[in-house]
């Protein structure tokens, strides 16, 4: 069972959505080269607010999340994404119930 999830809300500057999607994919590709995730992360786009994206991923534990968020890869990509982001909010969530 997955015990920890990451959840991020990304608000992108209007007109920069395609750049954001490409940058998010690049982040995921670099992370996969360093860390083998148990399940691939997911990126969703808000249907009614097309500049708002949500990403989430399961992790094996809080230490894996802390290692990722303190990594050079994470900070390098966030720095590059900064030019087309209005807001970014990252959360680490503990799983309470899975599947009912």
**pLDDT in the model for residue 60:** 82
**pLDDT at position 31, please?**
83
CATH number for the domain harbouring residue 78:
3.30.70.100
Q: Is residue 99 in a domain?
A: no
Asked whether the whole model's pTM tops 0.75, one would answer: yes
- Boundaries of domain holding 58: 4-94
Burial label, 53 (beta-carbon count in 10 A; 0-12, 13-18, 19+): buried
What pLDDT score does 10 carry? 98
In contact, 5 and 93? CB cutoff 8 Å: yes
The number of folded domains in the chain is 1
> Tell me: the pLDDT tens digits for 27-86?
999 888 777 666 889 999 999 999 999 999 998 877 888 888 898 989 999 999 999 999
Q: Is position 16 within any domain?
A: yes
């Amino acid at each position: 069972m997955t015990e920890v999830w990451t959840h991020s809300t990304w608000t992108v500057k209007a007109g920069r959505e395609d750049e954001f999607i490409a940058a998010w994919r690049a982040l995921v590709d670099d992370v996969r080269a360093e860390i083998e995730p148990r399940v691939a992360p997911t990126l969703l786009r808000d249907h009614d607010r097309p500049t708002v994206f949500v990403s989430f991923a399961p992790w094996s534990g809080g230490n894996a999340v802390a290692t990722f968020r303190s990594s050079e890869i994470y900070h390098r990509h966030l720095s590059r994404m900064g030019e087309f982001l209005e807001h970014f909010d990252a959360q680490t969530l503990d799983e309470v119930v899975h599947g009912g």
